[in-house]
Structure 1
Amino acid sequence: MKNILLVFSIITLSVCSNIQPSKSTELVNKKGITQTHDKYLPEGDLIPVENLQKDLLDLKIRLDTIHPDPSFTMDLAEVKSQIDKLSIGILAPMTQLESWKHLSQLNPYFQDGHMMIAYPNAKKHMNAHIDNGGRIFPVKVEIDESHRLFVIDIKNIESGITVGDEIFSINGVAVSEVVKAILSRMHGDTDTFRRALASDRFSQMYWMLYGDKGDYQIGVINNSKKSFYSIVGRKKISADQTIDLDDIVQRKILDDRIGYLRIDRFYYAPEHETAFFQFMKESWQAFHNANVQDVIIDVRKNPGGTDHYWQQGIAPYVASEPFLFLSKFKIRMTERNLHLGPFKGDLGSIVEAPYEQLVPVNGHENLRIPGKAYLLMGPLSYSSTILFLTAFQDSGQAVIAGQSGGARSCTTGRIDISNFSGSKLELVLPTLIFTRPSGKDLCHKSIKPDLFIADVPSDPAIAVAKLAKIIVTKR
């Protein structure tokens, strides 16, 4: 897709009761200069009731005029009913932050990782908060099917907490309440996918809802024994604007003539794009020089991006013949889509047609691997990564391994981002629906891997080792 997948049951406002008003605190930086930083997202000015209700009315209109087919992902009648309930529930003016807490409760109902009501520039606000000395929730966690919270990484944490511990409270608030507050505002195709996203973004969502606590009082259960630990919040994160290519791609040569590539995204800053394709070219040359027979391509944490990265950087080196990556498409002809092309139509119309263009694979025959490509998927694989996986699975030119995250195997894309006139919150929604090469029958089901290998978030190497053993036995 030409768009970046954005990295972001109706309940009453009582869920927000533990969310405190915006506060500031003072600190002294390394140069001895006193600074202030907000412990919460900016509250914003009060927004009149009628303006907020107009935002919700506009949401209904945009669903009908910008989305190509809302019923593909959601129960449209139910969504509009919930919109009405939220509108009736606005009894007093709200700040922008309060309006996000209220309106974002619609996100699960959209049932799409490409559609949400978002707080504008939330991640930039969090990065700025951390740059100014703020601290966020420090533990990496996973939310399970029962909505319990488990520790999956204790790197840089000095305490008695161990991987696998269940967290039952944070700063005196029951985890069940915290998880409910986060999941009730999380976008995503299914509950399984929303849990994966919420787990991955737990620190950010906790900060957006509960603020910066500085020190975090965490209650855990280990072997039926309850313990409490006080842990200093994390003060550093990997901001997109400072990330290095080495942080998101990796190449290794494993035993038994197996190559390994980890690719954590299919979108890059302009200064990284050339470096990405150079990295890929060097990787295939290195595999050729090492007489690699089969390759594992790990996209378990890849949320998608732009298709040309995998079509040019991977397909020619593993596929033996050109192949489809779609069977048909359905698109709303917005001004942006008319500009981007290649689809044509009248402004506002919906165009639906077969897609017959093949992904070319010529030009690198000398570096093509002699064996098979094994694409390792995981709960966070999404968007263009879904297209990547289904294209290779349906063409039979790669083996899909790993564990599905519950996302539909026919994805949406070409997101439209606009701001409501009242709250100025962002509305993100798709303008394009893709049908996988094999057709619509499997669209609403998640990708079924050819080889199921459970994802172990606390130790990603386990799945790679298991897959490598299987590869050897199948030769």
Structure 2
Amino acid sequence: MQKSYQLLFTISLCLFLSNCNNSYLDIFPDLDDPALMERTIAPELLKQDIQAFYQGALDRHPNLDSYANKKELESAVKELQAKISEPMSRLEFYKIVGQLTHYFNDGHSMLIWPYQEYENAKAEGGKPFPFEVKITPQKSVIIDNSYSFQSKKVTIEIPAGSEITAINGISMVVMLETMQRYVGGESQYLREQFLANRFSLYLWSVFSLMNNFEIELSFEQVTNNISIDALQHWEKQESKNNDNEVNDHKNTLEKDFYFKKLKQNVGYLYIGHFDVDIDWFEKFIDNTFEVIKKNNYESLIIDIRDNTGGNTVTATYLASYLATKKFKMISKMTEKLNVDNRGFLNYKGQVGELLESEWDDWVAPVDSDNIYTGQTYLLISPITYSAGIVFATSLKDNKMATLIGRQTGGNANQTAQGNLFNLPNSQLRAYITTRMLVRPSGAATSGGVKPDFEVIPTVTTISAEKDIEIEKALELIHLNSKL
């Protein structure tokens, strides 16, 4: 299908999740020298790498002063350098230098964990922490599904909603406070939400925990201790409400993209991320809206609560099916030039220059008989980020949908595409943003994308495995049907 819009890429936090594949950037290249994983690196070289990470942010970030406290950041660089007095492995060094990430206060600026060592550990039979979790605003770490393990002698079950209070003798309060320091995000709450998405990975990279876990659990005011080892195979159980279509989608989260009938004349479209092959995604969306048209769905719920971004080409294509007139995905963009993005012979400008431009790319509604004209409800959450936020602001500012859920943890006016680079001696991989985007309305307000209807899950609703955001959407659909 002919496209009238330009390509605008925004880096995706999904790219930094352990289950992401087929990303459009080479996030995880192999080491040129794999033996580096087995060696230790001299202290003076590691101190150079800390400085290189910091300087990389200064050279690339388009508005670091508005995100980071520069004095605190500079002090942290010196403090972390002072902690290095002995040679270290890459993983040992990551536990020090990785703490700079949270000082940037930006989900698009971070140091990536030593993924080569992590993959090697799993390939050698290592078993990461087996449970998916949610982290509540009150900082409770809740097991998100029911799990069971069956041996020859006994079956052990862990109910959804169980709170993890300690692992291997370390309180969860200490663990959360420590691990969030290695995660990018505009606030500690956002960092905790991203941490929940890759909880097992940070247990390994920050606390070296893999294979064996002594877990202290609390459920309905009863405390239990469970021992987990690498030989156990824990299985996620089906929702106890799986006869209820509102909750049934929890059983299909293995799929990043799917559409189904939710209720009479109500469709449900799950978009797990926008980091996907463009041709495949467009075909999927074309087929989905053909089904919607054929079955006369009057209401559509689009779920991007787990969507941490990708490229905005896919987000734009989906939005074009919901539009009744031309629209913009953003209104302005600022880019900071550096040695990596200034262009051949500096054709874009000089290093350090800020390029500011009005975004004049108007997107036309899709040229298809299957364009959607019904009511759209968009589910968002604190994890919705990057291209997910671009999509949410586009639908909200262009009045294409009613937003339901919780305010996004990332800013509605946010940073975007940046540069990947390796630290010179450890070869740990860093990513720093180079762009700033302004939402379609042009509003310069701070903070995240606010829903039209705020819905906040609780430990009680998680334990009951209720999807209260979908329930709210169905309630609004029912009310609107009576108007």
What band does the TM-score fall into relative to the shorter chain? 0.7 to 0.9
2:176 aligned with 1:179: yes
The one-character-per-residue Cα deviations of 1:356-387 (angstroms, maximum 9, x if unpaired) are 211221412x2122322211112221101101
The DSSP-based 3-state class of the residue aligned with 1:319 is coil
Match of 1:247 among 242, 255, 275: 255
What is the match of residue 296 of structure 2? 291
- Name the amino acid aligned to 1:250: Y
Aligned partners of 2:431 and 2:159: how far apart in 1? 38
TM-score normalised by the chain length of structure 1: 0.83
Aligned partners of 2:79 and 2:292: how far apart in 1? 58
The one-character-per-residue Cα deviations of 1:216-252 (angstroms, maximum 9, x if unpaired) are 2211122332211123457799xxxxxx997111101
CA contact (8 A) 1:3 1:305 kept: yes
- Name the amino acid aligned to 1:134: G
The DSSP-based 3-state class of the residue aligned with 1:168 is strand
Q: Describe the shift of the 1:157–1:468 C-alpha distance in structure 2 as closer, same or farther (beyond 3 A).
A: farther
CA contact (8 A) 1:43 1:98 kept: no
Unaligned segments of structure 1, at least 5 residues:
9-41, 238-243
Of 288-297 and 51-60, the range deviating more from structure 2 = 51-60
What is the match of residue 80 of structure 2? 86
| CA-atom RMSD in angstroms | 2.7
Aligned partners of 2:254 and 2:199: how far apart in 1? 24
Q: Describe the shift of the 1:129–1:59 C-alpha distance in structure 2 as closer, same or farther (beyond 3 A).
A: closer
CA contact (8 A) 1:133 1:235 kept: no
2:113 aligned with 1:119: yes
2:458 aligned with 1:452: no
Superposition pairs for residues 198-217 of structure 1, below 5 Å? 198-217=195-214
Match of 1:256 among 264, 270, 273: 264
Q: Describe the shift of the 1:390–1:370 C-alpha distance in structure 2 as closer, same or farther (beyond 3 A).
A: same
1:409 shift after superposition? 1.0
Aligned partners of 2:257 and 2:409: how far apart in 1? 24
2:438 aligned with 1:431: no
1:333 shift after superposition? 2.6
Match of 1:371 among 355, 370, 374: 374
Q: Describe the shift of the 1:44–1:5 C-alpha distance in structure 2 as closer, same or farther (beyond 3 A).
A: farther
What is the match of residue 124 of structure 2? 132
CA contact (8 A) 1:294 1:370 kept: no
Q: Describe the shift of the 1:236–1:302 C-alpha distance in structure 2 as closer, same or farther (beyond 3 A).
A: farther
How many residue pairs match? The answer is 427
Q: Describe the shift of the 1:161–1:305 C-alpha distance in structure 2 as closer, same or farther (beyond 3 A).
A: same
- Name the amino acid aligned to 2:51: L
What is the match of residue 355 of structure 2? 351
Q: Describe the shift of the 1:101–1:194 C-alpha distance in structure 2 as closer, same or farther (beyond 3 A).
A: same
The DSSP-based 3-state class of the residue aligned with 2:292 is helix
CA contact (8 A) 2:126 2:210 kept: no
Aligned partners of 1:264 and 1:293: how far apart in 2? 23
Aligned partners of 1:180 and 1:461: how far apart in 2? 28
CA contact (8 A) 1:303 1:384 kept: yes
Match of 2:395 among 392, 395, 406: 392
Aligned partners of 1:114 and 1:284: how far apart in 2? 32
Unaligned segments of structure 2, at least 5 residues:
1-7, 17-35, 151-155, 236-251
CA contact (8 A) 2:166 2:217 kept: yes
Match of 2:326 among 317, 322, 325: 322
> Percent identity over the alignment?
26
Aligned partners of 2:307 and 2:223: how far apart in 1? 36
CA contact (8 A) 1:417 1:427 kept: yes
Q: Describe the shift of the 1:325–1:213 C-alpha distance in structure 2 as closer, same or farther (beyond 3 A).
A: closer
The DSSP-based 3-state class of the residue aligned with 2:372 is coil
Higher relative contact order at CA 8 Å, sep ≥6: structure 1 or structure 2?
2
- Name the amino acid aligned to 1:52: L
CA contact (8 A) 2:147 2:234 kept: no
Aligned partners of 1:192 and 1:332: how far apart in 2? 28
The DSSP-based 3-state class of the residue aligned with 1:321 is coil
2:463 aligned with 1:463: no
- Name the amino acid aligned to 2:302: I
1:405 shift after superposition? 3.8
Match of 1:383 among 376, 386, 395: 386
Of 221-230 and 449-458, the range deviating more from structure 2 = 449-458
The one-character-per-residue Cα deviations of 1:309-358 (angstroms, maximum 9, x if unpaired) are 1212x222211111122121110234554559xx9434542201221211
What is the match of residue 245 of structure 2? none
The one-character-per-residue Cα deviations of 1:436-468 (angstroms, maximum 9, x if unpaired) are 1222522x3111101212346664744223212
The DSSP-based 3-state class of the residue aligned with 1:308 is helix
Of 71-80 and 56-65, the range deviating more from structure 2 = 56-65
Match of 1:2 among 3, 9, 24: 9
- Name the amino acid aligned to 2:196: S
TM-score normalised by the chain length of structure 2: 0.81
Match of 2:335 among 331, 348, 370: 331
- Name the amino acid aligned to 1:101: K
The DSSP-based 3-state class of the residue aligned with 2:270 is strand
- Name the amino acid aligned to 1:64: L
- Name the amino acid aligned to 2:64: P
Of 429-438 and 84-93, the range deviating more from structure 2 = 84-93
